[in-house]
């Protein structure tokens, strides 16, 4: 019982009840303490219910009575199934208090539920710590720079911020190509010349960033290769090197194609684009100093490019007069006009040249086509005529003996036809088994394909399982470490191991007792059975003897006497048995009555009764006072 | 084609070159993924015609594990009906399960011109005349384009490259085989390539001459380097490519166009009547040209001679190119 009480008191202290140090057991709980404990428990269990209740007993008796009733109601709402009323709180008895407090403490929500919901793991712990620190910092009010205490300086001023500037580092690990690891010079370089990573960066600020970047790059490359290999690499059934080389070739080909396609349209449209660029440039030049050379070159260039499009001519021609219009000065204008007319003459000449050339080209193309056509036709005609010539030559050779040759030719034809047919059948004989073989091999191939794909999928699933189990193992190790540290940091006031030991002991005790009880019960049953059988036997024996003796009793005097003795013996033994049974019953009753006495003694009934009478008197007085007040007022 | 999905060659006589083999495999619809089997397809490749008929194998037959087969017949002449009939007879492959019988029949046709078929009657080569083949396509199909047929007519006269597109091969074949009938005076069906894929080998083959080519692939409309005139059959749209400047039309063309349309709409006349009308008109034009040529020395026309007659520029252009096409131009 003391253990139970200590657990209860500890739990109540955790809830917030102010239990004195020397209160050792529930026996010593006063009504006020009890009420406070119950109210605090209810508040934790169900804040809605508990909000309406006050943790302290008011002095007035009727108020106390009311408080008791509401508390009892609240406990019943929560689910307490025992008998409860105001008397439990005001005139309490130990067993009732104990059961009520145990029920309430059990109902308290478990704190462990929150803890298990939080993710475990080192990173989670770290993140939680970070979150807590940031929250604490945010809670601090922002203070203007002048008033800052050193505590605030760290968190609120700009501080030593560094931009994220990285620098490629080289280390022996990052060059893992098979080509370079064997070279002696490379290893020498790595050993003797290459500076350590901390020295490779110009300033300390970039070092962290560079290291992070390099590590992230390597990690992501490794992960990508892993995932790609698992998904596609295994499917292609190549070794890793082959797969890599094939991928490289594929990428190179694609790059080539892209470059080629990008270069082609560029080259096609280069001409007009170049010309338009040039004309833009020329337009910009027009505003500035008139450099005739440039302009002349411009018109040259533009119209040699676009000689087929005569629409450009008016535009270029318009460029000339516009230029002349912009100039200032009379003689300058004259000179300009002379030059202009010369240029225009030249231009016209060129245009006519161009047209002539165009017409020539067209003519040439058409005649070329016609000539080709003719040529082709003639060639075809030639070949046909040649064939006919051959045939006619042969026929002429055969003409002298026309009929016989015709017959011979026909027989030749038939013979060759038959030969072809026989060859065909022979080939067919060869072909059929080959085709069957081909089909059979194909089937085998496809079956093997199926099998290998099945095995691949198995491999994949194994990979996944491995992955998953390694992760789980890692997580579990982390949680274990974390929990060990947590366990060490836990306060040691309540020794749970002692409790668990006691509980296990009690459980084993109970088991033993149960066994003993069952043994005793079985013994009792056995005894009862024996008694029953013996009684039965006795009755039967007595009946038989009785009859037997009675039969003889009529005739013989001594038998009558012995019959009387037998009857008396039977009667007395019966009485004995009866007395023994009564003794047993009475002993049981005595035990029950003793138990009841004990429980009643614990109830403190007398003291409670006195208190009730006093309180009753107090209520009566209060009632009288209130009635008087009402009458006055 | 057999159960495994392979398409295998069974037999070829005489030998078939490997690139022709490739082309034929491509044309033969057994290698294509679609389930749509065309019973009869023909086309031209490097001056020889091929005719493919495909048959699905129904149970029960002597052939196990074969789902479909195709018969390919190549020859130098254009006569789809003849070869269709021949292929039907050769389909006795089904019954016997071996190509030997087929070989016998084919050789009989080659040597004697006749062969027995399992159904009553025999196959005679002389039943199938080439002129009938030429006329078999209905020119009235062309009248679907109305006045725009004149573009096709001009292109054919001037020996330009025409590309026709239709997603279904049967419609394509039917339409394209009628086109060379518009220039009946040449009777040249070797320009017809009714079934071409966009493969390098076949396009190389096309480049050797002016052609009327049919494509099933809609991508061909992007290949403007392949054609001067593009006909999209399902939309009934004719497009003239930018570089074909010889196709400008004039009054002469309008006349001819009217003649074509009128005779096509004339539902009483037969196809041959339409062709006759068109060829009459063509002969008129050619007669003028010949007359012009005879004026010049060595009966060849030159551009200057044409210019002296002061034709309108479109007609002059047309006559100039026509002269080149008919080989009347002085080189």
Query: How do beta strands B212-215 and B114-116 pair?
Result: unpaired
Q: Report whether pLDDT(A301) > 50.
A: no
User: What's the pLDDT score for residue A303?
Assistant: 45
Please report whether residue B118 resides in a domain: yes
Give the confidence band of B8 by pLDDT, cuts at 50, 70, 90.
low
Query: Any idea how long chain A is?
Result: 633
Find the range with the poorest average confidence among A186-195, B15-24, B38-47, B214-223: B15-24
**Do the Cβ atoms of A78 and A49 come closer than 8 Å?**
yes
- Rounded mean pLDDT, A9-24: 75
Helix, strand and coil content of chain A, in percent to the nearest 5, comes to 85, 0, 15
Query: Any idea how long chain B is?
Result: 331
CB pairs under 8 A between A and B: 60
Give the closest residue to B317 by CA, choosing from B255, B256, B250: B250
User: What's the pLDDT score for residue B309?
Assistant: 74
User: What's the pLDDT score for residue A559?
Assistant: 83
User: What's the pLDDT score for residue B235?
Assistant: 76
- Rounded mean pLDDT, A379-408: 86
User: What's the pLDDT score for residue B270?
Assistant: 67
Q: Which tens digits make up the pLDDT trace of A27-73?
A: 777 777 888 888 888 887 777 776 767 767 777 777 888 888 888 88
Q: Which residues contact B133 (CB under 8 A, 6 or more apart)?
A: B78, B79, B80, B81, B82
A370 reaches B (C-beta below 8 A): yes
- Rounded mean pLDDT, B25-38: 56
User: What's the pLDDT score for residue A415?
Assistant: 85
Find the range with the poorest average confidence among A93-97, A576-580, B62-66: B62-66
Q: Report whether pLDDT(A310) > 60.
A: no
> Same structural domain for residues B106 and B153?
no
Among residues B99, B128, B157, which one ends one of the domains?
Answer: B128
Please report whether residue B3 resides in a domain: no
Find the range with the poorest average confidence among A110-114, A540-544, B21-25, B264-268: A110-114
Q: Report whether pLDDT(A517) > 90.
A: yes
Query: d(Cα A87, Cα A418) in Å, to the nearest integer?
Result: 127
User: What's the pLDDT score for residue A299?
Assistant: 47
User: What's the pLDDT score for residue A511?
Assistant: 95
**Do the Cβ atoms of A41 and A8 come closer than 8 Å?**
no
CB < 8 Å to A413, chain B: 111
User: What's the pLDDT score for residue A452?
Assistant: 93
C-alpha distances out from residue A438 to A200, A631, B264, Å = 65, 122, 56
- Rounded mean pLDDT, B9-32: 59
Residue B161: CATH number of its domain: 3.40.50.11500
Instruction: Give long-range contacts, CB 8 A cutoff, 24+ apart: B51-54.
Output: B51/B75, B51/B80, B51/B83, B51/B84, B51/B87, B52/B24, B52/B27, B52/B28, B53/B84, B53/B87, B53/B88, B53/B91, B54/B28, B54/B29, B54/B30
Q: Report whether pLDDT(A342) > 90.
A: yes
| Tally of domains in chain B | 3
> Same structural domain for residues B37 and B123?
yes
User: What's the pLDDT score for residue B55?
Assistant: 67
**Do the Cβ atoms of B108 and B115 come closer than 8 Å?**
yes
Give the confidence band of A376 by pLDDT, cuts at 50, 70, 90.
confident
A580 reaches B (C-beta below 8 A): no
> Same structural domain for residues B255 and B242?
no
Please report whether residue B4 resides in a domain: no
The answer, as to whether pTM is greater than 0.80, is no
Please report whether residue B163 resides in a domain: yes
Find the range with the poorest average confidence among A95-104, A268-277, A333-342, A357-366: A268-277
Among residues B83, B106, B128, which one ends one of the domains?
Answer: B128
User: What's the pLDDT score for residue A593?
Assistant: 95
> Same structural domain for residues B59 and B75?
yes
User: What's the pLDDT score for residue A307?
Assistant: 46
CA atoms within 13 A on the CB side of B257: 16
Find the range with the poorest average confidence among A23-37, A378-392, A551-565: A23-37
Query: d(Cα A548, Cα A542) in Å, to the nearest integer?
Result: 10
Q: Give me the residue from A425, A435, A438 closest to B100, CB to CB.
A: A425
CB < 8 Å to A374, chain B: 327
The H or E element spanning position A2 is helix A2-15
Among B103, B186, B319, the residue to mutate for chain A (most A Cβ within 10 A) = B103
Binary contact (A370, B108; C-beta < 8 A): no
Q: Report whether pLDDT(A607) > 90.
A: no
C-alpha distances out from residue A50 to A77, A87, A567, B78, Å = 11, 20, 77, 105
User: What's the pLDDT score for residue A582?
Assistant: 96
Question: Chain A residue with minimal CA distance to B188?
Answer: A377
Give the closest residue to A9 by CA, choosing from A95, A73, A74, A101: A101
User: What's the pLDDT score for residue B314?
Assistant: 73
Give the confidence band of B297 by pLDDT, cuts at 50, 70, 90.
low
Q: Give me the residue from A367, A413, A432 closest to B331, CB to CB.
A: A367
> Same structural domain for residues B192 and B109?
no
Give the confidence band of A402 by pLDDT, cuts at 50, 70, 90.
confident
Give the confidence band of A172 by pLDDT, cuts at 50, 70, 90.
low
Give the confidence band of A155 by pLDDT, cuts at 50, 70, 90.
low
A428 reaches B (C-beta below 8 A): yes
DSSP A532-586: HHHHHHHHHHHHHHHHHHHHHHTT-HHHHHHHHHHHHHHHHHHHHHHHHHHHHHH
Q: Give me the residue from A369, A435, A442 closest to B324, CB to CB.
A: A369
**Do the Cβ atoms of B296 and B305 come closer than 8 Å?**
yes
> The tokens 């026989």 sit on which residue?
A422
User: What's the pLDDT score for residue A292?
Assistant: 45
Binary contact (A366, B320; C-beta < 8 A): yes
How many angstroms away from the CA of B104 is the closest CA of chain A? 6
Q: Report whether pLDDT(A265) > 90.
A: no
Among B3, B69, B97, B107, the residue to mutate for chain A (most A Cβ within 10 A) = B107
> Same structural domain for residues B108 and B167?
no
- Rounded mean pLDDT, B241-268: 70
Q: Give me the residue from B6, B103, B329 closest to A424, CB to CB.
A: B103
User: What's the pLDDT score for residue A580?
Assistant: 93
Give the closest residue to A49 by CA, choosing from A70, A25, A26: A70
Query: d(Cα A335, Cα A327) in Å, to the nearest integer?
Result: 11
Question: Chain B residue with minimal CA distance to A359?
Answer: B303
The H or E element spanning position A119 is none
CB < 8 Å to A375, chain B: none
Find the range with the poorest average confidence among A177-186, A284-293, A583-592: A284-293
- Rounded mean pLDDT, A133-156: 69
Give the confidence band of A530 by pLDDT, cuts at 50, 70, 90.
very high
Query: d(Cα A327, Cα A289) in Å, to the nearest integer?
Result: 10
- Rounded mean pLDDT, A154-181: 59
Q: Which residue has the higher pLDDT, A112 or A41?
A: A41
How many angstroms away from the CA of A463 is the closest CA of chain B? 34
CA A319 from centre of chain: 72
Q: Give me the residue from B8, B103, B325 closest to A420, CB to CB.
A: B103
Q: Which tens digits make up the pLDDT trace of B176-217?
A: 777 777 777 777 777 777 777 777 767 777 777 777 777 777
**Phi, psi (5° rounding) for residue A130?**
-60, -45
A466 reaches B (C-beta below 8 A): no
Q: Which residues contact B126 (CB under 8 A, 6 or more apart)?
A: B113
Q: Give me the residue from A376, A421, A439 closest to B4, CB to CB.
A: A439
> Same structural domain for residues B86 and B184?
no
Among residues B247, B281, B308, which one ends one of the domains?
Answer: B247
Q: Report whether pLDDT(B222) > 80.
A: no
CA A1 from centre of chain: 49
User: What's the pLDDT score for residue B98?
Assistant: 61
Average pLDDT score, chain B: 69
CB < 8 Å to A421, chain B: 100, 103-104, 107
SS (H, E, C) chain B: CECCCCCCCCCCCCCCCHHHHHHHHHHCCCCCCCCCCCCEEEEEECCEEEEEEEEECCCCCCCCCECEEEEEEEECCCCHHHHHHHHHHHCCHHHHCCCHHHHHHHHHHHHHCEEECCCCCEEEHHHCCHHHHHHHCCHHHHHHHHHHHHHHHHHHHCCCCEEEECCCHHHHHHHHHHHHHHHCCCCCHHHEEEEECCCHHHHHHHCCCCCEEEECCHHHHHCCCCCCEEEECCCCEEEECCCCHHHCCCHHHHHHHHHHHHHHHCCCCCHHHHHHHHHHHHHHHHHHHHHHHHHCHHHCECHHHHHHCCCCHHHHHHHHHHHHHCCCECC
- Rounded mean pLDDT, A500-522: 94
- Rounded mean pLDDT, A536-542: 91
Q: Give me the residue from B103, B209, B325 closest to A421, CB to CB.
A: B103
Please report whether residue B188 resides in a domain: yes
Residue A105 DSSP SS3: helix
Percent of chain A surpassing pLDDT 70: 77
Binary contact (B4, A363; C-beta < 8 A): no
| DSSP symbol at A53 | -
Query: d(Cα A330, Cα A474) in Å, to the nearest integer?
Result: 95
**Do the Cβ atoms of A347 and A317 come closer than 8 Å?**
yes
Percent of chain A surpassing pLDDT 90: 22
Q: Report whether pLDDT(A9) > 60.
A: yes
Q: Which residues contact A129 (CB under 8 A, 6 or more apart)?
A: none
Alpha helices in A288-401 (DSSP H): 292-305, 312-326, 330-398
Q: Report whether pLDDT(B273) > 70.
A: yes
Q: Report whether pLDDT(A190) > 60.
A: yes
User: What's the pLDDT score for residue A505?
Assistant: 93
**Phi, psi (5° rounding) for residue A162?**
-120, 135
Give the confidence band of B39 by pLDDT, cuts at 50, 70, 90.
low
Binary contact (B325, A413; C-beta < 8 A): no
For residue B55, list its beta bridge partners: B69
Among B4, B77, B222, B307, the residue to mutate for chain A (most A Cβ within 10 A) = B4
CB < 8 Å to A420, chain B: 13, 103, 107
Residues 348-367 of A with CB under 8 A from B: 363, 366-367
Find the range with the poorest average confidence among A364-373, A479-488, B112-121: B112-121
Q: Report whether pLDDT(A328) > 50.
A: yes
Please report whether residue B8 resides in a domain: no
Q: Which residues contact A236 (CB under 8 A, 6 or more apart)?
A: A243, A246
**Do the Cβ atoms of B176 and B162 come closer than 8 Å?**
no
For residue B41, list its beta bridge partners: B52
Question: Chain B residue with minimal CA distance to A410?
Answer: B111
Query: d(Cα B232, Cα B241) in Å, to the nearest integer?
Result: 13
Q: Report whether pLDDT(A90) > 50.
A: yes
Question: Chain B residue with minimal CA distance to A432?
Answer: B98
| Structural domain that includes position B298 | 251-326
Most confident of A51-55, A146-150, A485-489: A485-489
Query: d(Cα A64, Cα A56) in Å, to the nearest integer?
Result: 10
User: What's the pLDDT score for residue A288?
Assistant: 47
Q: Which tens digits make up the pLDDT trace of A546-555?
A: 888 888 878 8
The H or E element spanning position A232 is none
Residues 436-465 of A with CB under 8 A from B: 438-439, 442-443, 446
- Rounded mean pLDDT, A469-478: 95
DSSP A263-305: HHHHHHTHHHHHHHHHHHHHHHHHHS---HHHHHHHHHHHHHH
Q: Which tens digits make up the pLDDT trace of B86-145?
A: 777 776 655 565 666 666 767 766 666 665 555 544 566 555 666 666 666 556 666 667
> Same structural domain for residues B144 and B242?
yes
CB < 8 Å to B6, chain A: 442
Average pLDDT score, chain A: 78
Instruction: Region of A142 please: left (phi>0), alpha (psi -120 to 50) or beta.
Output: beta
Binary contact (B209, A376; C-beta < 8 A): yes
**Do the Cβ atoms of B38 and B29 come closer than 8 Å?**
yes
> The tokens 């439990």 sit on which residue?
A88
Give the confidence band of A433 by pLDDT, cuts at 50, 70, 90.
confident
């Amino acid at each position: 019982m003391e253990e139970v009480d200590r657990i209860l008191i500890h739990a109540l202290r955790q809830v917030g009840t102010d239990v004195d140090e020397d209160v050792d057991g529930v026996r010593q709980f006063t009504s006020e303490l009890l009420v406070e404990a119950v109210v605090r428990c209810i508040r934790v269990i169900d804040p809605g219910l508990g909000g309406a209740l006050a943790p302290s007993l008011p002095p007035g008796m009727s108020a106390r009575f009311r408080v008791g009733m509401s508390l009892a109601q609240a406990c019943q709402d929560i689910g307490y199934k025992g008998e409860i009323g105001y008397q439990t709180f005001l005139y309490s008895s130990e067993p009732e208090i104990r059961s009520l407090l145990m029920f309430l403490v059990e109902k308290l929500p478990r704190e462990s539920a929150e803890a298990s919901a939080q993710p475990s793991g080192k990173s989670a712990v770290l993140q939680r710590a970070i979150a807590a620190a940031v929250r604490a910092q945010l809670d601090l009010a922002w203070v203007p720079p002048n008033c800052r205490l050193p505590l605030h300086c760290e968190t609120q001023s700009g501080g030593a911020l560094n931009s994220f500037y990285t620098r490629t580092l080289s280390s022996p690990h990052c060059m893992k190509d098979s080509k370079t690891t064997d070279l002696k010079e490379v290893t020498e370089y790595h050993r003797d010349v290459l500076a350590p990573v901390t020295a490779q960066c110009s300033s300390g600020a970039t070092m962290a960033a560079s290291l992070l970047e390099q590590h992230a790059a390597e990690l992501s490359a490794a992960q990508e290769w892993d995932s790609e290999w698992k998904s596609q690499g295994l499917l292609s059934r190549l070794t890793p090197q082959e797969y890599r080389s094939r991928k490289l070739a594929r990428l190179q080909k694609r790059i080539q194609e892209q470059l080629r396609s990008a270069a082609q349209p560029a080259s096609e449209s280069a001409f007009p684009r170049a010309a338009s660029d040039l004309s833009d440039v020329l337009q910009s030049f027009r505003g500035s100093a008139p450099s005739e050379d440039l302009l002349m070159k411009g018109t040259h260039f533009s119209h040699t490019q676009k000689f087929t499009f005569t629409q450009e001519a008016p535009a270029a021609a318009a460029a000339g007069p516009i230029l002349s219009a912009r100039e200032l000065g009379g003689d300058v204008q004259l000179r300009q006009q002379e030059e202009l007319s010369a240029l225009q003459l030249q231009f016209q000449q060129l245009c006519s040249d161009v047209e002539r050339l165009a017409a020539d080209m067209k003519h040439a193309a058409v005649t070329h086509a016609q000539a080709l056509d003719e040529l082709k036709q003639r060639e075809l005609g030639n070949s046909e005529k040649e064939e006919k010539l051959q045939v006619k030559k042969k026929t002429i050779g055969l003409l002298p003996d026309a009929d016989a040759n015709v017959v011979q030719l026909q027989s030749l034809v038939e013979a060759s036809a038959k030969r072809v047919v026989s060859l065909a059948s022979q080939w067919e004989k060869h072909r059929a088994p080959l085709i069957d073989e081909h089909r059979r091999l194909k089937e085998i191939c496809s079956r093997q394909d199926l099998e290998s794909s099945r095995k691949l999928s198995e491999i994949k699933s194994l990979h996944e399982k491995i992955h998953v189990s390694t992760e789980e193992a890692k997580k579990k190790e982390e949680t274990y470490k974390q929990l060990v540290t947590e366990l060490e940091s836990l306060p040691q006031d309540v020794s749970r191991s002692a409790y668990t030991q006691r509980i296990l002991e009690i459980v084993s005790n109970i088991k033993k007792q149960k066994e003993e009880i069952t043994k005793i019960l079985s013994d009792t049953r056995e005894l009862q059975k024996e008694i029953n059988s013996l009684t039965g036997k006795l009755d039967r024996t007595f009946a038989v003897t009785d009859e037997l003796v009675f039969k003889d009793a009529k005739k013989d005097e001594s038998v009558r006497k012995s019959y009387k003795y037998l009857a008396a013996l039977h009667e007395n033994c019966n009485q004995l048995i009866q007395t023994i049974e009564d003794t047993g019953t009475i002993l049981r009753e005595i035990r029950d009555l003793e138990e009841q006495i004990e429980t009643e003694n614990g109830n403190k009934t007398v003291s409670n009764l006195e208190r009730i009478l006093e309180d009753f008197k107090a209520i009566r007085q209060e009632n009288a006072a209130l009635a008087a007040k009402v009458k006055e007022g | 084609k057999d159960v495994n999905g392979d398409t295998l060659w069974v037999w070829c006589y005489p030998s078939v070159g490997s690139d022709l083999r490739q082309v034929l495999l491509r044309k033969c619809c057994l290698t294509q993924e679609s389930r749509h089997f065309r019973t009869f397809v023909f086309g031209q490749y490097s001056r020889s015609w091929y005719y493919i008929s495909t048959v699905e194998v129904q149970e029960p037959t002597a052939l196990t594990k074969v789902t479909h087969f195709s018969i390919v017949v190549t020859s130098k002449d254009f006569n789809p009906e003849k070869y269709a009939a021949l292929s039907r007879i050769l389909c006795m492959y089904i019954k016997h399960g071996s190509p030997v019988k087929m070989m016998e029949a084919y050789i009989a046709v080659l040597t004697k011109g006749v062969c027995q078929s399992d159904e009553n009657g025999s196959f005679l080569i002389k039943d199938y005349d080439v002129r009938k083949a030429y006329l078999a396509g209905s020119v009235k199909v062309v009248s679907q384009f109305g006045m725009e047929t004149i573009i096709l007519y001009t292109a054919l006269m001037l020996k330009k490259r025409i590309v026709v597109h239709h997603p279904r091969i049967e419609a394509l074949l039917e339409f394209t085989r009628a086109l060379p009938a518009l220039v009946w005076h040449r009777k040249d069906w070797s320009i017809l390539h009714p079934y071409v894929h966009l493969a390098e080998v076949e396009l190389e083959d096309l480049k050797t001459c002016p052609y009327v080519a049919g494509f099933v692939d809609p991508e061909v409309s992007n290949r403007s380097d392949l054609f001067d005139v593009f006909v999209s059959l399902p939309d009934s749209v004719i497009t003239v490519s930018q570089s074909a400047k010889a196709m400008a039309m004039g009054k002469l063309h309008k006349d001819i166009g009217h003649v074509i349309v009128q005779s096509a709409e004339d539902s009483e006349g037969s196809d041959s009547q339409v062709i006759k009308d068109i060829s009459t008109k063509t002969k008129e034009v050619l007669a003028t040209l010949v007359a012009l040529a005879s004026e010049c020395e060595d009966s060849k026309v030159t551009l200057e001679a044409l210019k002296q007659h002061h034709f309108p520029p479109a007609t002059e252009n047309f006559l100039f190119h026509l002269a080149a096409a008919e080989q009347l131009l002085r080189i």
